[in-house]
Structure 1
């Protein structure tokens, strides 16, 4: 699963910066940044933060979107968007909430890292996971525009696609209530554009499904951090990603 992330402006602008368009970057910072909830040192999807995403319709210029995909058929966002923070990659072309977006509305969410919880006896220990080379992480996502029938408000929303966890994530994300460890789909830099490619037929679907693989643990690093939940939670502060030691817990990968 992926319910908690760290997303800073420079990482969120990863794809926009590829073209080194200084005018566009300045415009984004001056006009669009105020529409987001950035910076996000620690945020949970259940807060439905507003972030930048890159859609198949605008692959290099970000769109402001809110976490928790609301499909077009939904009558009320509150009834569904807590259930659509993540989309299981194995079923995105089948599930009613995601299948239209899987074909026509795919996106990339650039973040610094994400958090997962490890179960150690009665204690739950949070880990912060990032790329070993410290570069931004590009997550595969789905998006949709939803119109509130009562107010006319148009809401852009997204979901993060998940897949089977790699061996490192299997150790960290060991929730006994879940059916096997999960992790977000992290796209290698050279494959980002393939996730945003046009969908025309079942062959294209197979190409997309081939991208929904576990990112190799050799390219990732993880360490324990302070509590993310409850009265002692660090909150949305820079310290959220800092190393915190727990007794009898493996601390680094």
Structure 2
């Protein structure tokens, strides 16, 4: 799963900068930046942070959205609060089946850029957080779904999103070993070649998705253990939260990626 991320305004400008529209980038920084919670050295999805996403409606100019997809058919604040924490992630295998994600999978796909993400590794009845990022330190493009919801009490529009996850492989298959889950999971990470394919609307996208998932999505990752992300020893949303912390009790094979 993917419930903890690190992201910055610089990372979230990654796609906008490809268009080389300096005026647009300046506008994003000045107008949208202050509306977000960036920078997020560590953020839990359960805090529903405000960040930037790039949607299929405007691939190079982002919008502000909150993490935790609110389906357009939610008709009350009570229902919204009830569903919010269960839509932080969307399993790619079932996005066309689940009522919460079906419409978004067909019509509203987006990309969420992060500096990296955190996952917990289980060993001897304890959990150890890892920070995972690209080897070249470039931002990661995470596949996501988004929704536009009209608040029933004041009529305001709330944009929200869910990170799409897939079966963990390679290094992630070893890190994400939660015994409560049937298989390891990881966010669906898109290479630059596949980003546009994810955003492109198509009536046959469900069929196209199979090809996308089987494509050579060659993204080199690296990881290291960090301090606890829960409990009394948690440092909070500060820059040093991503610094490596060595746990001597972890056996060498647990860190052999």
TM-score class, shorter: over 0.9
1:104 aligns with 2:107: yes
1:177 aligns with 2:208: no
Instruction: State whether residues 115 and 127 of structure 1, in contact with CA within 8 Å, keep that contact through their aligned partners in structure 2.
Output: yes
The match for 1:93 is: 96
State the alpha-carbon separation in 1 of the partners of residues 13 and 184 from structure 2. 30
- The Cα offsets for residues 105-163 of structure 1, whole Å up to 9 and x where unpaired, read as 00000111000000111211000001111111000000000112122121100000000
- The Cα offsets for residues 161-208 of structure 1, whole Å up to 9 and x where unpaired, read as 00000131121111100120000000011110000111223xx32112
Change (3 A) 1:218 1:62: closer
Which TM-score applies when normalising by structure 1?
0.95
1:3 aligns with 2:6: no
- Among 144, 153, 156, the alignment partner of 2:156 is 153
The match for 1:33 is: 33
1:232 is paired with a residue whose SS is coil
Change (3 A) 1:239 1:159: same
The match for 1:230 is: 231
Instruction: State whether residues 224 and 252 of structure 1, in contact with CA within 8 Å, keep that contact through their aligned partners in structure 2.
Output: no
Runs of 4+ in 1 over 4 A off after TM superposition: 213-218
Instruction: State whether residues 166 and 214 of structure 1, in contact with CA within 8 Å, keep that contact through their aligned partners in structure 2.
Output: no
1:211 is paired with a residue whose SS is helix
- What is the CA-CA distance between 1:212 and the residue it aligns to? 3.5
- The Cα offsets for residues 33-74 of structure 1, whole Å up to 9 and x where unpaired, read as 010000000000000000000000010001100000000111
Instruction: State whether residues 190 and 217 of structure 2, in contact with CA within 8 Å, keep that contact through their aligned partners in structure 1.
Output: no
| Unaligned segments of structure 1, at least 5 residues | none
The match for 1:67 is: 67
- The Cα offsets for residues 61-107 of structure 1, whole Å up to 9 and x where unpaired, read as 01100000000111332010100000000010111000100000000
State the alpha-carbon separation in 2 of the partners of residues 221 and 215 from structure 1. 18
Which TM-score applies when normalising by structure 2?
0.93
The CA RMSD measured in Å over matched residues stands at: 1.6
The match for 2:136 is: 133
Change (3 A) 1:218 1:66: closer
1:121 aligns with 2:113: no
State the alpha-carbon separation in 2 of the partners of residues 83 and 185 from structure 1. 18
State the alpha-carbon separation in 2 of the partners of residues 66 and 50 from structure 1. 4
2:59 is paired with a residue whose SS is coil
| Unaligned segments of structure 2, at least 5 residues | none
- What is the CA-CA distance between 1:210 and the residue it aligns to? 2.8
State the alpha-carbon separation in 2 of the partners of residues 214 and 170 from structure 1. 18
The match for 1:56 is: 56
Instruction: State whether residues 52 and 63 of structure 1, in contact with CA within 8 Å, keep that contact through their aligned partners in structure 2.
Output: yes
1:167 aligns with 2:170: yes
The match for 2:242 is: 241
